[in-house]
Amino acid sequence: MISYKSEEEIELIRQSSLLVGKTLAEVARIIRPGIKTIELDKVAETFIRDHKAKPAFKGYNGFPYTLCISVNDVVVHGFPGDQELKEGDLVSVDCGTLLNGFYGDSAYTFAVGELDEEKRLLMERTKESLYRGIKVAKAGNRIGNIGYEVQSYVESFGYSVVRDLVGHGIGRNLHESPEVPNYGKRGDGIMLRQGLVICIEPMINLGVRQVTQDRDGWTIRTADGKPSAHYEHQIAIIKGEPTILSSFDEIEEVLKEKVN
């Protein structure tokens, strides 16, 4: 059952989603070689709570942290801990908030120091695939159109799309219908309609698409140990067109400041 949102509900979702972007910008400020991933998690939790919101992931189905922090070959759902980030690491940080009864959810992949060319291109192309998917999320198109755009773009570089995990609807619940795969065919799946709010989140592997799960029951890794990148935007279909509710702007402003 798909829940289509009113303009008022979409505005509340946007507020929650923008808080995610601001939280990830706080992570961007302190991410560096030598920092422990648990320190990123603590900063995020404090920031979210200081803004009168709750960390959406903490306690969700037993997940024990505020952030999913996934380093190099970890695709998603990585646990923060005492692991120190190293120069050249590729780090996906996924964050969720609950504010005014609605969920925000977004993810960004960070470079720790200087990346090698292979990882840098994987990052750039995964992010580009997200925007290509968003562009076709229009009323009258189908869910398969989104996956087709993501898949056809990244596979042209020899990358692979994770099939075991997908994007999703979102609103009063963190995960709602419909599922939003990052692969598919044009014209397949449900028709996109006004008021649909979804998270599009390409998870793209440098090597094979197969993944494994750690004993913790959460951490998902590439089966061949090669790196993976992950970006996520929350969008709504408004007046027939895709509107991005989340934001990478604050994150990227911080990253530019750090370079300069």
Percent of the chain exceeding pLDDT 90 equals 99
Class level of CATH domain 7-259: alpha beta
61, with CB counted inside 10 A (0-12, 13-18, 19+), is: exposed
Residues of the chain with pLDDT under 50: none
- Element of type H or E holding 20: helix 7-30
pLDDT of residue 124: 98
Q: Minimal CA–CA distance to 206: which of 219, 218, 223?
A: 223
Q: Which of 239, 249, 236, 161 is closest to 204 using CA atoms? A: 161
What is the sign, positive or negative, of the torsion defined by CA atoms of 232, 59, 172, 221? positive
CA angle 257, 16, 198 (to 5 degrees): 100
Hey, what amino acid is at 108?
Y
Residues 3-51: tens digit of each pLDDT: 999 999 999 999 999 999 999 999 999 999 999 999 999 999 999 999 9
Instruction: Judge residue 110's burial from the number of C-beta atoms within 10 Å of its C-beta, 0-12 exposed, 13-18 middle, 19 or more buried.
Output: buried
Per-residue model confidence (pLDDT) at position 248: 98
pLDDT at 259: 83
User: In 10 A of CB 16, how many CB atoms?
Assistant: 26
